[in-house]
Amino acid sequence: MSGPFQLPDLPYAYDALAPVISSDTVTLHHDKHHAAYYNALNGLVEGTAMAEMTLEEVVVKSGNDASLAKMFNQAGQAWNHIIYWEQMAPGGASTPSGKLAEMIDRDFGSFDEMKAQFVQTAVTTFGAGWAWLAMDGGKLELISSSNAGNPLAMGKTTLCGVDVWEHAYYLDYQNRRPDHVKAVLDSAVNWSYVGERLEDAL
């Protein structure tokens, strides 16, 4: 691959998230889908000022300029999947502690209630997109975004994102998006890591 933006390696083995997400799904999702967003992005920025920017800068700029919608589709997806892979914990999830636990209880009532609302947010995202746990103005919130949309482009802090494009779950769960999202939140997301993201932003 050539170009200014380089696909990060998967931060664990391809089978590390099984059975929540199978090795086949992780392999296709990282090596084909995530890689394709990088390839397309590198093609689009070639010869432009954006080739000198960070990926985050490209996401914010293209996400707030309708004339750069094609760029945002690729840059947003390149960035979203970094968030997605990094937040997962091989071997199962931890539970929130510290400030994250406090804020979840304050803003949602309980961890279980937050996860239930997260699943609903994912299920009601029409078509391809993402469900996010984000922070805005010191308050946690759940966001549904279409296609490549993300809290970063909205000026919010991104804490956790679940990909609800069919490529993220169809091999393993077919049409059962709610089951997939519930399994990811219950048994794959590393909530300690999500808590670190929150602490870094406070």
Site residues, Mn ion (CB under 5 A) = 163, 165, 168
Which CB sits closer to Mn ion, 31 or 112?
31
- Angle at which helices 69-86 and 55-63 cross, to 10°: 130
HEC sequence for 146-184 = ECCCCCCCCCCEEEEEEECCHHHCHHHHCCCHHHHHHHH
Which CB sits closer to Mn ion, 118 or 165?
165
Please state the closest distance from residue 109 (CB atom) to Mn ion, in A.
30
Please state the closest distance from residue 193 (CB atom) to Mn ion, in A.
19
Which CB sits closer to Mn ion, 108 or 130?
130
Which CB sits closer to Mn ion, 163 or 172?
163
Please state the closest distance from residue 114 (CB atom) to Mn ion, in A.
23
Please state the closest distance from residue 181 (CB atom) to Mn ion, in A.
13
Which CB sits closer to Mn ion, 30 or 198?
30
Of all residues in the shown chain, the one whose CB is closest to Mn ion is 163
Please state the closest distance from residue 81 (CB atom) to Mn ion, in A.
6
